[in-house]
Amino acid sequence: MSLKDVLREKIEAHRSRTKTLVTKHGDVKVGEVTIAQAIGGARGVRCLVTDVSYLDPEEGIRFRGKTIPEVMSELPKPKGKDYPYVEGFWYFLQTGEIPTQAQALEVVEDFKARSPVPQYVFDILRAMPRDSHPMVMFSAAIVAMQRESKFAKFYHEAYDRRTAWEYMYEDAADILAKLPVIAAYIYRMKYQGDTPIASDPDLDLGGNFARMMGIDSPYDDVARMYFILHSDHESGNASAHTTHLVASTLSDAYYALSAGINALAGPLHGLANEEVLRWIQDVYDKLGGKIPTKEDLTKFLWDTLNSGKVIPGYGHAVLRKTDPRYTSQREYCLKHLPDDDLFKVVSSIYEVAPDILREQGKAKNPWPNVDAQSGVIQWHYGIKEYDFYTVLFGVGRAIGVLTNITWDRGLGYAIERPKSVTTAMLEEVAGV
């Protein structure tokens, strides 16, 4: 059975569960909302539903019920490689089933056919100021392709909500297959003297991305690991939620993903990985190029906090322990680049930052998140243009959010429209 056939079965079987919950148990309370939550970014309010991943505050992310180590060990891998096919992970995230090698390879072939990027996208990228942020280029390239949307065409010609997910899936797969090509093109055009490298039809998504970036093995495995780790973090984070919100209006996947990518570009969200590197470079600069000691770092961490800034790469809205995505990348570093200077600095920050954040007493979570570690690996393999790191995050994040909006249409989730209240209403409720 093809991925889409498996997905059809799963979605159709799932619909009755959603319907029963809404029609028979719709009045049952899931939680309540406090004034602090209404003003404080809806933190902890349970009002979104997804089965693609779940974030436990203590344990971290599980994709379709599996931990990161389980995903990395159980999914099929290219011969001689340590990390799974991104295409097999897509199969797994969409259907909840671990694909066989043959099923993963079927998606590899399918993605190859979908991967050519229309020439007008490159023309648009080339027409943009070369110093535009790469996230601007990435988002613009995605929304520019909206004219290719099969969902939009279907909506105008023969919309049927029962089969809408199929067209959303088509758009989602079309986009995901093209994203590595677009990301690598932006990189080579912007930072490598405008020298794009063509893809190789014999390679999988991860292998091809490394090739188009012009970076040798094991960067192909880094790409697979990186995209999988950054894929999904349940649906309340800003990029996932934005994508879901926009798609809930029956906007297609091009509009929705481009919007989600714009949310990822914020310093409190995906841009934090770039901020980590900028912060460390700043430490180096202030020390005249010397590798900072733990004492130097302690001083700089306090200086950062005392100047009213956050420590990038630390803290989380939901997590309350070290992010397993941080741990997974740290394990990669310990195996492949234990002597890398930057890795040593990041490790030293890990030794001092949690105590400092605890002493300061504001952050609810003093532990590192995914962004504290990811820049080091990219830097090691020669990607020193750290404003590009969020684009890499964006390619990965697309896997999760595109899966979510496919299921949103499959289960017929409604247009989002939470209710707002006025400050005076809150004062009245609070009795002030």
Give the catalytic positions in this structure.
269, 316, 371
363 binds ligand AMX (CB under 6 A): yes
* Residue with Cβ nearer ligand AMX (328 or 369): 369
For the chain, how many helices (H) and strands (E)?
20, 2
Q: Pick out residues in 89-128 that bind ligand AMX (CB under 6 A).
A: none
Sequence-ordered list of residues with C-beta below 8 angstroms from that of 149, at least 6 positions apart, any chain: 171, 252, 253, 254
365 binds ligand AMX (CB under 6 A): yes
Question: Which of residues 98 and 225 has its CB atom nearest to ligand AMX in the complex?
Answer: 225
Binder of ligand AMX out of 17, 294, 335, 364 (CB under 6 A): 364
- Told to check if 269 binds ligand AMX by CB under 6 A, we report yes
Taking the complex as a whole, how short is the minimal distance between the CB of residue 316 and ligand AMX, in angstroms? 5
Count of residues interacting with ligand AMX (CB under 6 A): 22
d(CA 143, CA 256): 9
Per-residue string for binding with ligand AMX, 122-141, x by CB under 6 A?
A: --------------------
Name the residue number minimizing CB distance to ligand AMX.
Answer: 315
Q: Which stretch binds ligand AMX (CB under 6 A): 159-167, 193-201, 204-212, 358-366?
A: 358-366
Quick check: 260 binds ligand AMX (CB under 6 A)? Answer: no
Rounded-to-10 torsion of CA 108, 109, 113, 114: -30
Half-sphere exposure of 40 (CA within 13 A, CB side): 9
User: Which residue in 228, 165, 253 sits closest to 400, CA to CA?
Assistant: 228
Name residues contacting ligand AMX, limited to 296-325 (CB under 6 A).
305, 310-317
C-beta of 172 vs 317, nearer to ligand AMX: 317
What residues pair up with 60 in beta bridges, in sequence order? 56
Q: Site residues for ligand AMX, window 146-185 (CB under 6 A)?
A: none
CA distance 31 to 44: 9
Give the count of beta carbons closer than 10 Å to the beta carbon of residue 195.
Answer: 9
**Separation between Cα atoms, residue 423 and residue 417, nearest integer Å:** 19
Cis amide linkage into residue 78, ω under 30° from 0: no
Nearer to ligand AMX, 44 or 214 (CB): 44
Lay out the site mask for ligand AMX across 230-249 (x = CB under 6 A, - = otherwise): -------x------------
Contacting residue, 174, 274, 371, 408, with ligand AMX by CB under 6 A: 371
Kindly state whether residue 270 participates in binding ligand AMX, applying the rule CB under 6 A. yes
309-to-142, 297, 306, 353, 424 alpha-carbon distances in Å: 32, 15, 7, 14, 31
Q: How far is CA 370 from CA 127, 300, 302, in A?
A: 34, 21, 22
Q: Which of residues 24-63 bind ligand AMX (CB under 6 A)?
A: 43
Binding stretches for ligand AMX (CB under 6 A): 43, 237, 268-270, 272, 305, 310-317, 362-365, 369-371
